Amino acid sequence: MTAPTAEILSPDSTGLARAAALLAEGGLVAFPTETVYGLGADARNGTAVAGIYEAKGRPSFNPLIVHVADVEAARRYVEWSDLADRLAGAFWPGPLTLVLPLREGHGISPLVTAGLDTLAVRVPEHPTAHALLAAFGGPVAAPSANPSGRISSTTAGHVLAGLGDRIAAVVDDGPTPVGVESTILGLAPVPTLLRPGGLPAEAIEAMLGEPLQGLTEGGPLTAPGQMTSHYAPAAQVRLNAEAPNEGELYLGFGPMKADLNLSESGDLREAAANLFGHLHALDARALPIAVAPVPNRGLGVAINDRLRRAAAPRD
């Protein structure tokens, strides 16, 4: 890594105002939550969210958790339910993430949900995270603030060591108290443990008065992430197509004639931001889709990973 260029901000009103301003202009800001430091971006800004993947060097797009200040804010983005209300009443703010159906008009970038129609949302308990979310006033997508494949950051020093030359700022408020990621609970429709984490599953079961799905004696049924069903278009997808065949829709990249273009200027961040929205839009036309070659470097690696999954044969 080259020398850190990230601003180091204090968790006071001046520092948080600066952090909120950077988020509003599409910057990446790392901030403490009670679990681990998160690498935040405005969840409505696809290019900013693409920047998260670029900074982390993630070779694939996994759906991200959206952080909000309170239940009222969460309800703007997801279909709320009585069950969600009971869980939030008992455990928010805190290390519990709820996966709920996206609400119409949600405005969240499809890159956040990796094209799924559900959203993972949580209200962190850390006072600095809360103050930042309140100051920003919008939804913040944030995975753990570490380079892909490395351990999560529990101090600002970890964040700077791993990402200091790739992000706008870090809000330094010392070590995070919990140290492991939030527990993720799916609610579609029965409560299902998707990832064990900072809130013990037993505490959730005790509150609900019923066992959680996804728990076996050895732990959750599947490894974290594996239960996430990935969005795949219904249409046939053909990759590395220099031109469309008769009867195919063409998803372009770079200056070319196409039905939709990931990025006419060949910008990989713009392409990542457009990826899921364009696939959905072309898929709705119920014709096979040919995709122009996308260079396999930087964010192109994750773009190609997702395109290969979209093109893989399925039942």
What are the residues binding ligand TXA (CB under 6 A)? 33, 35-36, 38, 62-65, 95, 97, 99, 113, 116, 118-120, 142-144, 181-182, 184, 194-195, 224-225, 228
User: Which of Mg ion, ligand TXA, none binds 19 (CB below 5-8 Å, type-dependent)?
Assistant: none
**CA distances from residue 279 to 255, 261, 294 in whole angstroms, order as listed:** 19, 10, 15
- Nearer of residues 139 and 252 to ligand TXA, judged by Cβ: 139
Q: Which residues of 76-98 are buried (b: 16+ CB within 10 A; e: fewer)?
A: bbbbbeebbeebbeebbbbbbbb
- Tokens 């278009």 correspond to 233
End-to-end CA distance of the chain: 44
107 binds, among Mg ion, ligand TXA, none (CB under 5 to 8 A by kind): none
Q: Give the shortest CB-85-to-ligand TXA separation in angstroms.
A: 19
Q: Does 228 bind Mg ion (CB under 5 A)?
A: no
Cβ atoms within 10 Å, residue 272? 29
* Residue 118 binds which of Mg ion, ligand TXA, none (CB < 5-8 A, kind-dependent): ligand TXA
> Residue 64 touches which of ligand TXA, Mg ion, none (CB < 5 to 8 A by kind)?
ligand TXA
Question: With respect to ligand TXA, which residue has the nearer C-beta, 23 or 99?
Answer: 99
The C-alpha atoms of residue 6 and residue 27 are separated, in whole angstroms, by: 11
Minimum distance of ligand TXA from residue 52's CB (angstroms) = 9
Structural contact between residues 95 and 182, judged by C-beta atoms closer than 8 angstroms: yes
Range 121-150, binding Mg ion (CB under 5 A): 144
In the complex with ligand TXA, which residue's Cβ is closer, 11 or 143?
Answer: 143
CB of 293 to ligand TXA, least distance (A): 28
Yes or no: say if 108 and 139 are a contact pair by the CB < 8 Å rule.
Answer: yes
Q: Indicate which of Mg ion, ligand TXA, none lies near residue 33 (CB less than 5 to 8 Å, by partner kind).
A: ligand TXA
Query: What's the closest the beta carbon of residue 148 comes to Mg ion, in angstroms?
Result: 9
CB of 264 to ligand TXA, least distance (A): 30
Which residue's CB is nearer to Mg ion, number 127 or number 225? 225
As given in the structure block, the two tokens for residue 128 are 């600095």
Output the smallest distance, CB 64 to ligand TXA, in A. Answer: 5
The residue assigned the tokens 């249409």 is: 235
Among all residues, whose Cβ is closest to Mg ion?
A: 144
In the block, which residue shows the tokens 């804010």?
73
DSSP letter string, 74-136:
HTTTB---HHHHHHHHHH-SSSEEEEEEBPTT----TTTTTT-SEEEEE----HHHHHHHHHH
What is the nearest approach in angstroms of ligand TXA to the Cβ of residue 50?
A: 14
Residues 6+ apart with CB under 8 A from 314: 232
Binding residues for Mg ion, rule: CB under 5 A, are 144
